[in-house]
Amino acid sequence: MAKIIVEKSKPLRGTVRISGAKNSVLPILAASLLSTENCILEEVPDLNDVDVICEVIACLGADVKRLERDRIEVNGLSIDNYESPYELVRKMRASFLVMGPLLARMGKARISMPGGCAIGTRPIDLHLKGFKALGAEITLGHGFVEARAEKLIGNKIYLDFPSVGATENIMMAASMAEGQTVIENAAEEPEITDLANFLNKMGADIKGAGTDTIKINGVKKLGGAVHTVIPDRIEAGTFMVAAAITGGNVLVDNVVIDHLKPVIAKLKESNVEVIEEGNGVRVIAVERPKAIDIKTLPYPGFPTDMQAQFMALMTVAQGTSVVIETVFENRFMHVSELERMGASIKIEGRSAVIEGKSHLLGAPVKASDLRAGAALILAGLVAEGSTEIGNTKHIDRGYVRIEEKLKSLGATIYRVEEEEEE
Ligand SMILES: CC(=O)N[C@H]1[C@@H](OP(=O)(O)OP(=O)(O)OC[C@H]2O[C@@H](n3ccc(=O)[nH]c3=O)[C@H](O)[C@@H]2O)O[C@H](CO)[C@@H](O)[C@@H]1O
Ligand SMILES: C=C(OP(=O)(O)O)C(=O)O
């Protein structure tokens, strides 16, 4: 197993190109099960999670070909299996997103329960509520969720919380249901719009994606499409914080500025300069950042997937910051690791109070989840000495060649292979 070693680095400088969005490509690959013709996906990020979802859809009978490192061709014509096993679903929760497409194509799906993870229990009740509203019968048992429907019929579905995954799963199932489905209090994340755009290119009739009300008129068949995955706003935000925390000057290229509004607003509030430049944003930090308060919220609010990275920035800011996590009930696992590096953070329920320090000290730490791992890399860039980050598999789920990209900006970061790791 590998460790990532980060040394205190100079201010980062240069240009970094952002890859396609993990959280877009996963539902889009699940949606390709609905196709009966070739779909070509471009700007596919080279990530472990992408390998897992490809394995899941291939195991269901889809034809999946990697044309190039960032191009995949998929055809769902030959799907013949409706069961996704524990070994695959346990590797990645997003595997559960095949349930909607399977129900639509085969009228049945049997998927291992995804279970919780380090950041929370992450129930699937809203996904199931949506499938039931479309006419599916749901049974749970032996660690599996089974859904069956002779035919899916459109309905009005109100989500108690704008869940990203539930919105996606229901939208995919409804795209081939009979009649109209309206999802109310739908998630508005850019990845929902990207999925809807892909489905519409395949022949679906979806309107309102990106707002809280999505209207889906079911169609009988979905065909092929060529689609370019949107840039990853969370990878972009992570590199923006890397520039800010090191007092650097970095052009974060290939982004959609609109998707980064909450991140840009918070960086500016903390005294970091952010300038639009072509398809990118230049981030310039000349002084130590100022403390700021953050509350995570569904889009267009501040993303929970950027909370840990901003907390790393706040550990070295001037003053005291408050971070409130409202999306996941247990997303402060990075706090104890940042404290090992000398950060001063107090947790009270869903709030963390961070007293900015003039410096951190490198230490051996562990990534408990993907963004916690990213936060530790960021803290390591400014900590005195060496930071050794274990459990790198979490980081590799969501960042394409992160050490290479940071190294190209002047960071001292490398990976070592270890004999054993928990
Ligand atoms: C692959 C992917 O796109 N992952 C993203 C997606 O995860 P994911 O789709 O799992 O996140 P959700 O929006 O569904 O979850 C948000 C909250 O709703 C709760 N909930 C969700 C579903 C449900 O049926 N019942 C329920 O109570 C969850 O436990 C959580 O507290 O959106 C999250 C919130 O922006 C991001 O952090 C993840 O990076
Ligand atoms: C929580 C995340 O992803 P997932 O939903 O795939 O666990 C994330 O990308 O930060």
Question: Domain with 118 in it: what CATH number?
Answer: 3.65.10.10
262 is in an annotated binding site: no
> 91: CA distance to ligand 2 center in Å?
12
pTM: 0.98
Q: How far is CA 293 from the centre of its chain?
A: 23
Residue 108 Cβ inside 6 Å of ligand 2? The answer reads: no
Could you tell me the pLDDT band of residue 420, with boundaries at 50, 70 and 90? low
Give the span between the Cα atoms of 304 and 232, in whole angstroms: 14
C-alpha dihedral (51, 56, 62, 64), degrees to nearest 10: 10
Q: Is 54 a catalytic residue?
A: no
Could you tell me the pLDDT band of residue 418, with boundaries at 50, 70 and 90? confident
User: Does residue 170 belong to any structural domain of this protein?
Assistant: yes
User: Does residue 31 belong to any structural domain of this protein?
Assistant: yes
Q: What is the pLDDT of residues 230-250, one digit of tens each?
A: 999 999 999 999 999 999 999
122 is in an annotated binding site: yes
Same domain, 242 and 303: yes
pLDDT at 121: 86
pLDDT at 171: 98
How many domains are contained in the chain? 2
Q: Catalytic: which of 39, 54, 59, 117? A: 117
Alpha helix (H) ranges present in 32-124?
Answer: 48-59, 86-89, 99-106
> 80: CA distance to ligand 1 center in Å?
29
User: Does residue 48 belong to any structural domain of this protein?
Assistant: yes
Among 199, 228, 257, residue at a domain's last position? 228
212 is in an annotated binding site: no
CA angle, corner 109, sides to 226 and 199, nearest 5?
A: 20
**8 A C-beta contact, residue 119 and residue 325:** no
Same domain, 219 and 251: no
Q: What is the mean pLDDT of residues 34-45?
A: 98
Atom of ligand 1 nearest to the CA of 327: 31
Among 228, 245, 273, residue at a domain's last position? 228
Phi-psi group of 24: left, alpha or beta (phi > 0 → left; psi -120 to 50 → alpha; rest → beta): alpha
Q: Classify residue 365 as exposed, middle or buried by CB count within 10 Å of its CB (0-12, 13-18, 19+).
A: buried
Same domain, 6 and 68: no
49: containing domain: 22-228
Question: N- to C-terminal Cα distance for the chain?
Answer: 9
Give the span between the Cα atoms of 283 and 243, in whole angstroms: 6
Among 196, 228, 260, residue at a domain's last position? 228
What are phi and psi for residue 369, nearest 5 degrees?
-155, 180
Same domain, 123 and 194: yes
User: Does residue 422 belong to any structural domain of this protein?
Assistant: no
State percent of the chain over pLDDT 70. 99
The protein residue whose alpha carbon is closest to atom 8 in ligand 1 is 165
Same domain, 237 and 222: no
Helix (H) or strand (E) holding 315: helix 307-315
Q: Beta strands 213-217 and 180-184: pairing type?
A: antiparallel
Alpha helix (H) ranges present in 175-306?
Answer: 190-201, 233-245, 261-269
